[in-house]
Amino acid sequence: MPRMNRQHLLAALAAASFGSTLLAQAPQQQPQQPPPPLPGLVAEVKTTYTNVQNNIVKAAEQFPEDKLKWQPTPAVRTWARLIGHLTDDNNGACWLLAGDAAAPTRVDAPDNQESPSHKLTKEQLVTGLKESVARCDKAFAALTDANMAERNGPNGRRSKIGTLIYNTSHTNEHYGNLVTYMRLNNMVPPSSVGR
């Protein structure tokens, strides 16, 4: 064999040997584990609801008592009315699912009336809000993957899960209002604490 070819052959053998050594040392690919099962629609909605409601309760506890009638402009609700509105919507969405005999008395009133929420102390507003959250927790506890698509009440316009999805969406919407109210008062909203 000519000398040049022998060198090429030796180089090729050395490269092949080095390559197989590298392959032998490379970590073996483990079969990928499937992701854990999803928790189910009811659990997912409950988690979203719980997260935003925790922030709303913390915001209501944090906002100063002397600013309950504060509002950014006359065209929007005062802080007290916004907390009352959230309480009313929680109660309205959740009382039937929670097994209550009747809807609780409203805390907020239409814009052209003096709101009952303006007569409440901060402690009363926060207590009412927490009671409405407990009512919704009870509603979620009564909901299962098996019954979630049932009509919410004999004349309900939504399914049971649809009612709680609506309420969760509405709650998220108004948490955005609370954040704005707090920022305008130089306060850090609960969802931004620690950032």
**Residue 175 included in any domain:** yes
Return the percentage of the chain with pLDDT > 70, whole number. Answer: 84
Please give the pLDDT value at position 8: 57
Condensed to tens digits (0 to 9), the pLDDT of residues 144-155 reads: 989 999 999 888
Q: Of 175, 145, 174, nearest to 161 (Cα)?
A: 145
Instruction: Give me the pLDDT at residue 4, please.
Output: 52
Question: Does residue 167 form part of some domain?
Answer: yes
**Which residues on neighbouring strands pair with residue 159, listed in sequence order?**
151
Q: Which residue has the higher pLDDT, 97 or 117?
A: 97
The answer to whether position 119 is within a domain reads yes
Q: Is residue 117 part of a domain?
A: yes
- Show the domain range for 70: 40-190
Domain assignment of residue 83, yes or no = yes
pLDDT over 90 (residue 128): yes
- 104-118 pLDDT, tens digit per residue, is 999 997 766 678 888
pLDDT of residue 38: 85
**Nearest in space to 175 (alpha carbons), one of 83, 104, 109:** 83
Decide if pLDDT at 91 tops 90. yes
Instruction: Report the C-alpha gap between 52 and 179 in whole angstroms.
Output: 12
Which residue would you say has higher pLDDT here, 14 or 77? Answer: 77
Residue 103 covered by a domain: yes
Inside any domain, residue 77: yes
> What would the pLDDT profile of 20-67 be if each residue is shown by its tens digit?
554 555 566 778 888 888 888 999 999 999 999 999 999 999 999 999
Provide the CATH number for the domain around residue 176.
Answer: 1.20.120.450
Number of domains in the chain: 1
Who has greater pLDDT, 77 or 5? 77
Name 166's Cβ contacts closer than 8 Å, sequence gap at least 6: 93, 158
> What pLDDT was estimated at residue 194?
76
Question: Taking all residues of the chain, what is their mean pLDDT, rounded to a whole number?
Answer: 87
Residue 17 placed within a domain: no
CA nearest neighbour of 173 among 86, 94, 70, 107: 86
